[in-house]
Amino acid sequence: MVDDEGVEMETEGGSQGGVPFQLQFDKPIPSQVKIAEWNPEKDLLAMVTEDNKIILHRFNWQRLWALFPGKGITSLCWRPDGKAIALGLDDGTISLHDVENGKLLRAVKTHSVAVICLNWEEVAQTKSQEENNLYSYEDRTMRFFPSSPRIPRMRGLGAGDSGLADDSEDSFQELSNCSYQHFNVLCSGDKDGYICFSAFGIFRMGKINIRNLSISTPALDDMTDKLRNASIQKVALSKTLCQLIVLCSGEVVGDIIRTQDECVFKDDGFVEVGGPGPYFGSSTGLHCMLLNTSIFLSRKNELHQVAQQASNIDHLIEVIRESLSLMSKQWFSAMNSFNEKFSLLSSLIISHGGLDWNPQDEFLSLLFGARTSPPLHQFLVNSLGEAGLKRVSKAVCGAGKELHVIIHEHLQPAVETMGFRVGELRGLSRWHSRFKNIGLDERLIETATEKTGMFLVQVERFARVLTVVIQLFQNFFNWVLKCIKILMPEPTDQIQQPNRILLDSFWRIQMETIAL
């Protein structure tokens, strides 16, 4: 072995001349390392320093990347395939990062307090087991739909500026590319005694609190205790997912706390019942518990399929949420450009004493060939002009085109795919009648199916309304541009002839809008 000074030491039972352990590399770190974990598949070491940075090194101390999540890191663990790392944060969030570049793949809020420990285990299913499985299920989504749509991104802005994902990013695909080959479970524990179980690290499927569990005493029959103020220190799930070892701190309370031979310890002190002698100890300290989690193995196939569908739906909801947010931002920006220019007409009308007149009346008067007022002439020729009108038209119509792209490439495909996956979950909910211990609420699935169908109808209707609105704006801008070029060389009191082409276009679009 090597002591603190880096001196080679001989192990117990080793030969005098042999050196079984030898220092290979020595690297000073600016901040003290508080957590370190080796990658299960590669020569990578992840370290968390006291300043809450996570650093990834190779075995030769080559640094690959460093990450500062902005929150306190309280625990970490690797995904079984070594392609992702999970960080437990002090606010109860678990963040999953790509091993290649540290990119955030998903952040899941599973706890309300700091996540003290993490453990990620995977169980492999042999081919014979898959063939003998009577309730095997195949995901048919890819037969009818292409790959899941990406989260949209505002052009000209990076992910750090807009808060949205980059075009080249597909965090969901990177996170789930290898996860669904074998069923795996991420366990997390916090200082309030809660343990959460997540399939593939992203789908929460169970939660328990060890403070509410009854602890049986093997030496005596029908004697149970409970842990008070328990805090999880370490969790370890077996390779078969059937057992969970929990190391926790807290105070054991109850009639029986500890036993040794025939000696028992009660709340009021140690009492010798009979045996070799009194047994002394403390009810407060570290305790090791063994929990039965065989349901993860016995219901592995059902949990696998439900988690797969639910995780995909979760990703699609994120696509829908970001699509709506981006569409709102783009249209709000376009309307700001429009109002910034056309609001000048109101101030011009007021300055000319037209308190009972408004911009809508001015444009209607111009449309039907009435007199051209001085404020409208000044606005069209001087304040707005051809260049200003073209800029506003480009902003509004360009935003409309971007909204159409988001609808057809992101929003609508996400809603359609989500509707299909909810329908798949509707079939999986029938498992509740077969397996009483696990299943989905059929009434909730029915409601989700109905809501998804209504959402799809609204998306299609919104696309039609958007088309009409953009056409109305475009016709309005073309008409105003023609007025600036032809009808408005100078103010006049002469009655103008109505422009039939503009009138026909105006009323046709209005009737189409009313029909919708």
Q: What is the reported pLDDT for 271?
A: 34
Distance CA 322, CA 410 (A): 10
Residues 6+ apart with CB under 8 A from 166: 153, 158, 159
Alpha-helical segments (H) within 343-384 = 344-351, 359-367, 374-378
What length does the chain have? 516
Confidence at residue 345, expressed as pLDDT on a 0 to 100 scale = 84
Mean confidence (pLDDT) of the chain: 76
Q: Are strands 44-49 and 33-38 parallel, antiparallel or unpaired?
A: antiparallel
Helix (H, G, I), strand (E, B) or coil at 405: helix
Residue 282: pLDDT band by 50, 70, 90 thresholds? very low
Give me the residues paired with residue 117 across strands: 189
Amino acid 164: pLDDT: 36
Q: What is the pLDDT of residue 196?
A: 94
Task: Judge if pTM exceeds 0.85.
Answer: no
Tokens of 497: 């002839």
Q: What is the pLDDT of residue 108?
A: 87
Cβ–Cβ < 8 Å for 455, 462: no
460 band by pLDDT with thresholds 50, 70 and 90:
very high
List of residues 6+ apart from 386 with CB closer than 8 A: 481, 484, 485
Q: What are phi and psi of 262, to 5 degrees?
A: -110, 15
In this structure, are residues 2 and 9 in contact, taking their beta carbons and an 8 Å threshold?
A: yes
Both structure tokens of 371: 């007199």
Q: What is the DSSP letter of 283?
A: S
- DSSP string computed for 481-506: HHIIIII-SS---SPPPP-HHHHHHH
Question: Which two tokens mark 38?
Answer: 């080796």
- Which strands sit side by side in the sheet containing 84-89, from one edge to the other? 73-78, 84-89, 93-98, 104-109
Q: Mean pLDDT over residues 431-443, rounded? A: 61
pLDDT at residue number 350: 81
Window from 210-224, 253-267, 499-513 with minimum mean pLDDT? 253-267
Q: How many CA atoms lie within 13 A of 118 on its CB side?
A: 30
**Selection from 201, 204, 170 nearest residue 183 by Cα:** 201
Strand partners, 97: 85, 104
CA separation for the pair 418, 320 (Å, rounded): 10
Mean pLDDT (whole number) for 320-343: 91
Burial label, 80 (beta-carbon count in 10 A; 0-12, 13-18, 19+): buried
State pLDDT tens for residues 54-104.
999 888 888 889 988 888 999 999 999 888 999 999 999 999 998 988 888
Confidence of residue 258 (pLDDT cuts 50, 70, 90): very low
Six-digit token pair at 460?
A: 């299609």
Looking at residue 217, what is its pLDDT?
57
Are the CB atoms for 505 and 475 separated by under 8 Å? yes
Domains of the chain, by residue range, sit at 25-125+168-206, 213-298, 300-515
CATH architecture of the domain with residue range 25-125+168-206: 7 Propeller (2.130)
Give dist(CA 120, CA 39) in Å, integer.
12
